[in-house]
Amino acid sequence: MSSHSGAASPPFAREIEQTQLANGLRVISEYMPHVRSVSVGLWINSGSRREEGPESGISHFIEHMVFKGTETRSAEEIAREMDGLGGHLDAFTGKELVSFNAKVLDEHLPAAFEVLADMVLHPVFRDDDIEKEKGVILEELKMEVDNPEYLLHESFLSNFWKGHPLGQSILGTRETINGFTAT
């Protein structure tokens, strides 16, 4: 007879650690010896819930802009560097945070992290890139407005959180997007 309690046990124990660095940065890691790929991300605790009035959509806009270049890399150099590593860059904006992340083979982690850190710490907001990205995000907004599921979700949030930034679209509005400048 088995002494098994009936509870399902995981196929392997997870090794998740949280480390607090001296500068306050939190590092959460999980060691997975059976996987050669590494995912690394930077989560910034500033999403759309902290935006009011003309700032509505600025977190999402900045998320887009960091891919346009840094003080030392052009947008093309960022893309080529990650492609050269066989890696993938991505980002998303939520109500609570903005995330920038990369996935590469484990041997390329230092290079991928350096690219991500450069993007987040040293972005350059050129006027011509800002104008181009406004157009990209306005198209994204148009596509979402044509999506009934998006409209229903946004309608619910705007009524539930009436007058609060949580009730605003993460994308912003046509007016706020058009108002964004480098200064």
Digit-coded pLDDT (tens) for 101-157 = 999 999 999 999 999 999 999 999 999 999 999 999 999 999 998 999 999 999 999
pLDDT at 15: 87
Residue 6 belongs to some domain of the structure: no
What is the average pLDDT score of the chain?
92
Cβ atoms within 10 A of the Cβ of 92, count? 14
CATH number at residue 103: 3.30.830.10
Residue 31 belongs to some domain of the structure: yes
Provide φ and ψ at 10, rounded to 5°: -65, 150
pLDDT for residue 10 is more than 70: no
Residue 78 belongs to some domain of the structure: yes
pLDDT band at residue 11 under the 50/70/90 scheme:
low
C-alpha neighbours within 13 Å on the C-beta side of residue 70: 14
Return the percentage of the chain with pLDDT > 70, whole number.
Answer: 93
User: Is residue 36 helix, strand or coil?
Assistant: coil
List the catalytic residue out of 15, 17, 51, 63.
63
Lowest mean pLDDT across 16-30, 71-85, 121-135: 16-30
Residue 58 belongs to some domain of the structure: yes
Comparing CA positions, the residue from 76, 51, 91 lying closest to residue 129 is: 76
Quick one: which H or E segment has residue 70? none
pLDDT band at residue 7 under the 50/70/90 scheme:
low
pLDDT at 25: 84
Structure-model confidence comparison of residues 65 and 5, the more confident one: 65
Instruction: Give the span between the Cα atoms of 14 and 93, in whole angstroms.
Output: 28
Looking at the 3D structure of the chain, how many domains does it have? 1
Question: Which residues span the domain enclosing 43?
Answer: 15-179
pLDDT at 33: 86
pLDDT for residue 74 is more than 80: yes
Q: Give the single-character DSSP code of 73.
A: -
Residue 7 belongs to some domain of the structure: no
Instruction: Give the span between the Cα atoms of 84 and 81, in whole angstroms.
Output: 5
Residue 9 belongs to some domain of the structure: no
pLDDT for residue 26 is more than 60: yes
Q: Is 107 a catalytic residue?
A: no
Residue 115 belongs to some domain of the structure: yes
Average pLDDT over residues 87-106: 96
pLDDT band at residue 8 under the 50/70/90 scheme:
low
Lowest mean pLDDT across 7-11, 50-54, 85-89: 7-11
Residue 81 belongs to some domain of the structure: yes
Give this prediction's pTM: 0.86
Quick one: which H or E segment has residue 165? none
